[in-house]
Structure 1
Amino acid sequence: MPAPLLRRIIILLAIAAPAIVFRITGFAPNPVLDLVVFGAAVVAASFMLAWAAESAQKDISGALAIAILALIAVLPEYAVDLYYAFRSGSDPAYEQFAAANMTGSNRLLLGFGWPLIVLVALYVARRLAKARGEKGKQLPRMLQLPGSSRLDIGVLAIVAVLAFVIPIMGQIAMWVGISLILIFVAYLWRASWVPDEGEEEFVGMAAHIAAMPQTRRRITFVGMFVVSAAIILTAAEPFATSLVDSGGALGIDSYFLVQWLAPLASEAPEFIIAVLFALRGMGAAAIGTLIASKINQWTLLVGSLPVAHFFGGGGTDLALDPRQVEEFVLTASQTLMGVAIIIALRFHRWSAVALAGLFAVQFFVTDATGRYVLSGVHIVIAVALLVVHRRAILPAISAPFRPSVPEPVEREEARV
């Protein structure tokens, strides 16, 4: 194993070690310390998981690799969210937290992650353009997505519309959950048929793993999967519990901590890896990973919540209180707007700024009426953009149902 990789793994294991000791001994001095210890373990395991998942693309080609990477990268979020859903089956007090982590992570991914990647990618592209002597209108102002992205955009568009069924019903019904899981399975199957559009490039620690001989590489990333998954499973329950308990201890709304602090911990490695891709001029690959993450959050994760609730002793449907209904409407409307922005395979700089701005507004609009108005703004913007890009709607919506045809590889993803 390369020395830099070995050093990083040792550091991550050292960060996770206190959580393992706490869990084995049952030592729990106070909720805030528990939150720090178990949260640090989740972050450490997330980095290890992300490196392993990225390097695994060396042995799994095409859009399927992106889909699997996105799935594995959000395993920490699954562990926390499914724990709340499972616990809500026997303790109704936990019902309010069942989907909180998902809605927070979903909006963070689109409202912060997407704009960050686009702005970084455009910054890098503009620097390269200036180095070539280009200026003025020649400087890149948008991120161009590859044709293969239509599959993900089409699936996300379908799921974004179906997502509104949940707040309308006021619950995540078992039949809705199973339908979403089946959509995810179909998406993975369909992604496996998308042809490659070029050789995969790796950055950071994943590059060290990918450079290993095949047998050593596979043993290494499988071992990292197992270790990081074990740490996540060990830390998920106490981390989730300490989030709720810390709210009371610190006088902070527990729902707020569950919705935003947990996603920050679980999404940080994915954001960092995506930024590294963007810094290397691979903006389309970076945004593709985040789009795939949105799909598995809206399908497999949401679909699994009523299943976990049922096995936790609850009924077949997971009820949503008024606050969660409001959160689902806001999250679904933001997703619809995100789809409308990228449906023409172009992500403009101004769109990234607008997305980030509307994401920030929600923290200042805290009442139900204001948030429904913000959801309406998302939908109005989405409709306006879909009218402008109306010719791109059919190709995107039909992409999940038709054979894929290889398209020319574009090395410069950010263009005028």
Structure 2
Amino acid sequence: MPAELIRRILICLVIAAPAIAFRVTGFRPDPVVDLLVFGAAVVAAAFLLAWAAEAAQKDISGALAIAILAFIAVLPEYAVDLFYAFRSGSEPEYAQFAAANMTGSNRLLLGFGWPLVVITALIVARRMTTKAMRSGAVAAKPARAAHALELPKENRLDIGFLALLSIAAFAIPLLGTIPIWLGALLVVTFGLYLWRASKNHSDDDGEEEFVGGAALIAELPTRARRATVIALFVVAAAIILSSAEPFAEALVSSGSSLGIDSYFLVQWLAPLASEAPEFIVATMFALRGMGGAAIGTLIASKVNQWSLLVGSLPVAHGLGGGGWALELDARQVEEFVLTASQTVMGVAIILALRFHWWSAAALAGLFAVQFFVPDENGRYVLSVIHLVIAVGALIVHRRDIVPTLAAPFRRARPVDAEITGRDGDAGGPATGQQAAVASQR
């Protein structure tokens, strides 16, 4: 095993070691210290998961690998959120934290993660295009900024599922609860998504590219690579399972110690800790000219959140001793409306499989504005703005509405040569100079 890989794994284990010691001994010196110790362990475990999940694509190719990667990458978030839902079965005040963690992570992914990746990819594409023109690799013409990131055509399946889920999401605030029947429907939808993703592949997937720790794992011989991936999954899962409960408790308890609203900490700090590795990996892909792969993973993560995560909340609540429905108060209803409207806007602006820089800027800007609009009426106004922008984008992309909504139900077939014409390789995202040239169209 390469020394660099061993060093990276050991760093993560050293960071997680205090949390394991705290858990085994039951030592809890202070809520804030607990927050830092167990939060660091969750982040370290999330890095191990991200490396292992990405390297696993060496053995599992195609859209299914992206779906599985997206699922594994958000496991830390699942652990924390399901703990709150389970605890709410016996202590109803914890229900608000289950909703807070889910809506926060969902909006963080779309309002911060998507724009970060797209803007990074477009900057890289512009530089590559300029360099290519100077070297004579492409036709000489005035250099101009890259305006849009082209998405691989197989991403229409993910967008189609996300579109349906974003529409269904409005049932939650309308009902004022997440009933078990809706949870079951969402979990079944996730299963259908995985099945369809496994069928949505290219005849020639090409060689995957890896970055960071995943690249070091992918370079190992087959047996050593698979053993390492499995070992990292097991170790990371053990760290997360041992750290999720005390981390979640510390988030609530430390709010009082720090004079910060516990709801705010649960909604933003926990998701930021659990999703940081995913954002870093996606950004590294974008920096290498693989914007399609990066944004594809983040879109798949959104599908996971709106299907499996939301669907699991009433199940965890019921198993914790509550009824088979997670009741929401006025604040949580408002949060779900804002989150659902943001998702509808996100879907609308990428229907045509092109992610423009102005769309990314709008998502990021509206995401930032919410922190300055804490009152309920302001949040509903912000939701209306999301929906107005979504309607405008749907009008512009009206020809793509039916194909997108039909994608989850369309007969599975390999991605055809049409993608080659778009991205320069069969079914994979445009990379390097191809991405730069494609973004100029």
Is TM (by shorter chain) over 0.5? Answer: yes
Are the counterparts in 1 of residues 199 and 414 from structure 2 also a CA contact under 8 Å? no
Letter in 1 for 2:406: S
Residue number in structure 2 paired with 1:20: 20
Distance 2:219 2:228 in 1: 12
Query: Could you tell which deviates more after superposition, 193-202 or 225-234?
Result: 193-202
Counterpart code for 1:168:
L
Give the AA of the match of 1:226: V
Is it true that 1:229 corresponds to 2:237 in the alignment?
Answer: yes
User: Residues 199-230 of structure 1, C-alpha deviation per residue, up to 9 Å, x if partnerless?
Assistant: 21111111111111111100000000000000
Percent identical across equivalent pairs?
69
> What are the Cα deviations for residues 160-204 of structure 1, in whole angstroms up to 9, with x where unaligned?
000000000000000000000000000000000011343211111
* Aligned residue type for 1:244: V
**2:328 matches 1:306:** no
| Contact 2:46-2:274 at 8 Å conserved across structures | yes
Cross-structure match for 1:413: 435
1:162 aligns with 168
Distance 1:217 1:198 in 2: 19
**Is 1:219 equivalent to 2:227 in the alignment?**
yes
Equivalences for residues 105-124 of structure 1 within 5 A: 105-124=105-124
Residues 361-400 of structure 1 mapped to structure 2, 5 A cutoff = 361-400=369-408
5+ residue gaps, structure 2: 134-139
Q: Equivalent residue for 1:151?
A: 157
Distance in 1 separating the partners of 2:144 and 2:352: 21
Write out per-residue CA displacement over residues 307-331 of structure 1, whole angstroms, 9 at most, x where no aligned residue: 0000000001100011110000000
Which segment is superposed worse, 203-212 or 129-138? 129-138
Question: Does residue 279 in structure 1 map to residue 287 in structure 2?
Answer: yes
Q: Check conservation: 2:12, 2:44, Cα contact below 8 A.
A: yes
How far is the alpha carbon of 1:404 from its aligned partner?
3.0
1:46 and 1:266 in contact (8 A); partners too: yes
Taking structure 2 as the reference length, the TM-score comes to: 0.93
User: Equivalent residue of 1:401, what SS?
Assistant: coil
Pick one of 206, 211, 217 that aligns with 1:198: 206
Q: Specify every segment of 5 or more residues in structure 1 that has no aligned partner in the other structure, as ranges.
A: none
**Amino acid of the residue matched to residue 399 of structure 2?**
R
**1:137 Cα deviation from its structure 2 partner:** 6.2
- Report the AA paired with residue 10 of structure 1: L
How many aligned residue pairs are there?
Answer: 416
Q: Is the 8 A contact 1:130 1:139 kept in 2?
A: no
Q: Which residue of 2 aligns with 1:357?
A: 365
- The question of whether the paired residues in 1 share the 8 Å contact of 2:126 and 2:144 is answered with no
Determine which of 401, 413, 428 is the counterpart of 1:404: 413
Aligned to 2:137: none
TM-score by length of 1: 0.98
CA distance in 2, matches of 1:135, 1:257: 50
The one-character-per-residue Cα deviations of 1:71-118 (angstroms, maximum 9, x if unpaired) are 000000000000000000000111111121110010000000000001
1:46 aligned residue: 46
The residue number in structure 2 matching 1:180 is 186
DSSP-derived class of the 2:373 partner: coil
Q: Aligned equivalents of 1:79 and 1:22: distance in 2?
A: 18
SS in 1 for 2:372: coil
**Could you tell me which residue of structure 1 aligns to residue 278 of structure 2?**
270
Aligned letter for 1:87? Answer: R
State the Cα distance separating 1:290 from its structure 2 match.
0.2
Alpha-carbon shift at residue 135 of structure 1 (Å): 6.0
- Give me the whole-angstrom Cα distance separating, in 2, the residues matched to 1:375 and 1:12: 39
1:248-305 superposed Cα distances (whole Å, 9 cap, x missing partner): 1111100000000000100000000000000000000000000000000000000000
Q: How far apart are residue 395 of structure 1 and its match? A: 1.2
What CA distance in whole angstroms lies between the structure 2 residues aligned with 1:141 and 1:260?
30
Q: What is the alpha-carbon distance in structure 2 between the residues aligned to residue 112 and residue 404 of structure 1?
A: 33
**2:84: which partner in 1?**
84
For 2:371, what is the secondary structure of its paired residue?
coil
Shift of 1:413: 3.2
Contact 2:187 2:307 in 1 (8 A): yes
Query: Do the aligned partners of 1:129 and 1:135 also contact (CA within 8 Å) in 2?
Result: no
Q: Which runs of 4+ in 1 moved over 6 A?
A: none
Return closer, same or farther for 1:251/1:139 CA change in 2, 3 Å cut-off.
closer
Measured in 1, the distance between the counterparts of 2:254 and 2:196 equals 43
- In structure 1, how many angstroms separate the alpha carbons of the residues matched to 2:31 and 2:12? 22
Work out whether 1:294 is the aligned partner of 2:316: no
Name the SS of the counterpart of 2:355 in structure 1. strand
Q: Given the alignment of the two structures, is residue 10 of structure 1 paired with residue 10 of structure 2, yes or no? A: yes
| Paired residue secondary structure (1:28) | coil
One-letter amino acid of the counterpart of residue 296, structure 2: G
Task: State the distance in 2 between where 1:195 and 1:346 align.
Answer: 20
Q: Measure, in 1, the Cα distance between the counterparts of 2:406 and 2:353.
A: 15
